[in-house]
Structure 1
Amino acid sequence: MRTTLDLPENLLNKAMRVTHTETKTAVIVLALEELIRKSKISDLKKFKGKIELDINLDEIRVRQ
């Protein structure tokens, strides 16, 4: 999909250097994927301590 954006050139260049991406499109796609990943992690953190799992890790990992 084609979209016209007005982005700060210095910010875009810095992001490309930091992420070792060669194109503006690639760095924007990477940024969007990372934003989604972080959002999912944040959503999962809401369940911390609220889910009881009856799991024996030693049994699962075949430890004696």
Structure 2
Amino acid sequence: MRTNIVLDDNLVDEAFKYAESIHTKKDLIETALKEFVKNHKMKNLKDIKGKISFDENYDYKQMRIGK
């Protein structure tokens, strides 16, 4: 998707300091968006903490050997 945006130059410069392998604004924005989505997905996982019950008799080692 092509779009034009106005970015805070100081913020972009600071972001480049932390992103040694990123050299273009496009790559910087794409990386920031990926990290944003990843962080929000992790927060969603934290929301289900304590809401999942596990079978106390579940034996993952038995599943590994196919029994």
Q: TM-score, normalised by structure 2?
A: 0.76
Task: Give aligned pairs, total.
Answer: 62
Unaligned runs of 5+ in 2: none
Partners in 2 of 1:40 and 1:28 — Cα distance?
18
Runs of 4+ in 1 over 3 A off after TM superposition: 55-61
Q: TM-score, normalised by structure 1?
A: 0.79
Query: RMSD over aligned Cα, in angstroms?
Result: 1.8
Cα drift, residue 53 of structure 1 = 1.5
Instruction: Describe how 1:32-51 pairs up with structure 2 within 5 A.
Output: 32-51=33-52
* Aligned sequence identity (%): 36
Residue number in structure 2 paired with 1:19: 19
Residue number in structure 1 paired with 2:30: 29
Bigger Rg, structure 1 or 2: 2
